Amino acid sequence: MNRTSSFIRPLVPRDPHEPHRVATPLELLTDLCFVVAVAQAATGLHHAISEGHAASGVGHFAMAFFAIWWTWLNFTWFTSAYDNDDGIARLLTIFQILGSLVLAAGIVRFFNDDALLIIVGYVIMRIALVIQWLRVSRNDPEHALTARRYALGIVLVQIGWIGFYFVPSAIYVPTFLVLVLCEFAVPIWSEKPGMTPWHPHHIAERYSLFFIIVLGETILSTTIAIQDAVDGEHPAAQVTYVVIGGILIVFSLWWLYFQRNAGEVIGGDNVSPFVWGFGHYFIFAAAAAIGAGLASRVDFWTHHGDGSALVTGAAVTVPVAVILAALWFIHIRLHDSSVRTLMPFSVAIVVVLGGTYTAVPELVAGLACAALLAVELVLTEGKSETV
């Protein structure tokens, strides 16, 4: 009896004001498994750019990354509110991990227009989440209606994703966008009867940890590309530009993100958790795309790809500009929305995009990010002294 009660416990809400709430080992394991899918998506984008299929590659990358990010997001917010760490929750999390690995295995095929495996992995992960919400509907009367709405909404949208496999290529993208909007609508509709008790500092930590993991993937993909270049018969000295630019970009983005603590603001009445949570798609996706762009620049300098100077340059500068814009709007603005923070980011974005037309776009982007970081450090230091 005791063994049963410890293996299966009521799935009741966690205290949203619980002190010292941190990510669990199982959450960290899940993140590491998700990064396998992120690596596959970034690799697919890198190859598409280097092979001269940038437009198609960007489209497939954006869709594949949505599947990765959305399932991770739903898992993260659910566990923030209802992680009881019983045996059933652990088994269902492992089931979700299995789905993430199936999804990762299908990403290469997805870049070749075969979405079957990626849809199967996606549905597996969503089934586990539906079971969890049904448990909540039984154990948490206050949020029972919210839980049932989640379960129903997820099931209906998953039926749509299964049908997506049979959609003609002519309406492929519009159908995908409609289904994405349906996915966004599920939590908005479900939370109307009552918001689930997520923990602001726990959510902020989970997002920051995933951001570090994605940046790590950027470093890994660039390192592999550089290794391949150095091992070649005629290593290009210009690869040094990629090394320096990549280091400046990654280090600056990391510092900019962690310069301010999101946990202090996202629980406020004037902050929409949906905007903050959903908006991180652009931060995470752009961070992963930067790695693919830097790797394509290595291919360009070593003449191992068909991508032009302009296209491979844009593969670095555009995602850097996107992540800077998203960082300000989603993160920095919540702490300080004044012109004094907006202007440096705006200038940096213009400089980064302008660097696309230079001989060393990766270096321009890196220097612009480093300069922005320096300005941000001065501004935050000055503000803290004023306060």
Pick from 229, 227, 220, 224: nearest CA to 302? 229
Interhelix angle 87-110/54-82, rounded to 10 degrees, is 180
Tell me which of 200-204, 207-211, 234-238, 300-304 is least confident.
234-238
Q: What is the pLDDT of residue 382?
A: 58
Q: How many CA atoms lie within 13 A of 196 on its CB side?
A: 33
179 vs 302, more confident: 179
Work out the average pLDDT over 257-269.
Answer: 85
Report pLDDT digits (tens) over 276-297: 999 999 999 999 999 999 999 9
Residues 243 and 334 placed together within one structural domain of the fold: yes
Same-domain pairing of 155 and 223: no
Q: What percent of the chain has pLDDT over 70?
A: 95
186-213 mean pLDDT: 93
Give the pLDDT mean for 65-78. 95
3-state SS assignment for residue 387 = coil
Q: Taking 50 as the threshold, does the pLDDT of residue 4 lie above it? A: no
Close Cβ partners of 68 (under 8 Å, ≥ 6 residues apart): 34, 37, 38, 41, 100, 103
Summarize pLDDT for 17-70 with one digit per residue, the tens: 899 889 999 999 999 889 899 999 999 999 999 998 999 999 999 999 999 999
Residues 289 and 175 occupy one common structural domain? no
Please state, in angstroms and rounded to a whole number, the distance separating the CA atoms of residues 301 and 239.
7
The answer to whether residue 273 sits within a structural domain is: yes
Q: Summarize pLDDT for 129-161 with one digit per residue, the tens.
A: 999 999 999 999 999 999 999 999 999 999 999
Confidence of residue 268 (pLDDT cuts 50, 70, 90): confident
Residue that has been written with the tokens 């949906």 in this structure:
274
Q: Is there a single domain that holds both residue 26 and residue 169?
A: yes
Q: How far apart are CA 360 and CA 352, in angstroms?
A: 11
pLDDT classification of 245: cutoffs 50, 70, 90? very high
Q: Are residues 44 and 113 in the same domain?
A: yes
Alpha carbons 131 and 98: distance in angstroms, whole number: 16
Does one domain contain both 253 and 358? yes
Determine the straight-line distance between the first and last CA of the chain, rounded to whole angstroms. 57
Tell whether 230 and 264 lie within a shared domain. Answer: yes
Domain that holds residue 123: 21-190
Q: Show Cβ contacts of residue 225 under 8 Å, excluding neighbours closer than 6 positions.
A: 46, 242, 294, 295, 298, 299
57: tokens are: 């590659």
Our count of domains for the chain comes to 2
Contact between residue 245 and residue 363 where contact means Cβ atoms under 8 Å apart: yes
Buried b (16+ CB within 10 A) or exposed e, 276-294: bbbebbbbbbbbbbbbbbb
Confidence of residue 2 (pLDDT cuts 50, 70, 90): very low
Establish if 129 belongs to a structural domain: yes
Q: Are residues 170 and 251 in the same domain?
A: no
Mean pLDDT of the chain: 90
**Distance between CA 145 and CA 192 in Å, rounded?**
10
Residue 55 has a CB neighbour count (10 Å cut-off) of 11
Rounded to an integer, what distance in angstroms lies between the CA atom of residue 137 and that of residue 11?
Answer: 9
Model confidence band, residue 233 (pLDDT cutoffs 50, 70, 90): low
Q: Tell me, yes or no, whether 354 lies in a domain.
A: yes
CATH at 369:
1.20.1410
CA dihedral 313, 314, 317, 322 (to 10 degrees): -160
In a domain, 10, yes or no: no
* Residue corresponding to tokens 């995933």: 210
Claim to verify: residue 99 and residue 205 sit in the same structural domain: no
* Residues 225 and 337 reside in one and the same domain: yes
Residue 3 lies in a domain: no
pLDDT for 217? 82
Nearest one of 231, 233, 248 to 294, comparing CA atoms: 248
Of 144, 163, 190, the residue that ends a domain is: 190
Report the alpha-carbon distance of residue 41 to residue 45 in Å, rounded.
6
- CA dist 30 and 209 (Å) reads 12
pLDDT recorded at residue 139 = 93
Please determine, for residue 3, whether its predicted confidence score (pLDDT) is greater than 60.
no
Looking at the fold, whether 177 and 323 belong to one and the same domain comes out as no
Radius of gyration of the chain (CA): 22
Are 323 and 291 a contacting pair, CB within 8 Å? Answer: no
* Among the listed residues 326, 371, 330, the one whose alpha carbon sits nearest the alpha carbon of residue 347: 371
Question: Is the residue at 13 inside a domain?
Answer: no
Residue type, 312: T
Q: How confident is the model at residue 385 (pLDDT cuts 50, 70, 90)?
A: very low
Q: Judge if 229 and 375 occupy the same domain.
A: yes
The yes-or-no verdict on residue 269 having pLDDT over 80 is no
Residue 151 covered by a domain: yes
SS3 344: helix
Per-residue pLDDT at 240: 86
pLDDT at 234: 58
Write down the H helix ranges in 239-338.
Answer: 239-258, 273-301, 309-326, 333-335
Tokens 């800077």 appear where? Answer: 324
What is the model's pLDDT at position 56?
A: 92
- Lowest mean pLDDT, pick from 150-159, 210-219, 349-358, 359-368: 210-219
CB 380 within 8 A of CB 260: yes
**324 pLDDT more than 90:** yes
In a domain, 43, yes or no: yes
For 226-236, b where at least 16 C-beta lie within 10 A, e where not — what string?
beebeeeeeeb
Helix, strand, coil shares, percent, the chain, to 5:
80, 0, 20
Query: What string of DSSP letters covers 187-216?
Result: HHHHTTT------HHHHHHHHHHHHHHHHH
**Poorest-pLDDT segment among 33-37, 95-99, 266-270:** 266-270
- Residue 179 pLDDT class (50, 70, 90 cuts): very high
Instruction: From 190, 219, 239, give the residue that closes a domain.
Output: 190
